[in-house]
Structure 1
């Protein structure tokens, strides 16, 4: 994977982590809700795993937010 791709995944993961923490949720709570192993979810938040659109939608639903919020890089 290219360096630019990894950077992009890290930015998305950082946003997912930030939103999850703002909602007061743990990784375990989100994982239970979306039926995902915690190590996989941790990999997403840390930018080590590429995820499908369906997974992004499941995470957004669990966090009661819109997928677009993961792509805000202000």
Structure 2
């Protein structure tokens, strides 16, 4: 069973690629460095609820989908 951080980071990468966006683009929209966003997306840094909410708004994807809910 995947932990929530692993599941979320995998979903972030999947949705970003589906949108055809770069990590740099999302990081810029969020006001963070590409390196910090990369660490979130690769599961090397825990994501905060505020960051998760902000990413869902930038990607225009429901928070539940990022969390892996159907």
Q: TM-score, normalised by structure 1?
A: 0.82
Distance apart, 1:69 and its partner CA: 1.1
The yes-or-no answer on 1:24 pairing with 2:24 is no
* CA positional deviation for 1:33: 0.6
- Cα separation, 2, equivalents of 1:47 and 1:11: 9
Q: Which has the larger radius of gyration?
A: 1
After TM superposition, the score normalised by the length of structure 2 is 0.87
Aligned to 1:65: 61
> What root-mean-square deviation, in Å, do the aligned CA atoms of Structure 1 and Structure 2 show?
1.9
Alignment coverage as a number of residue pairs? 70
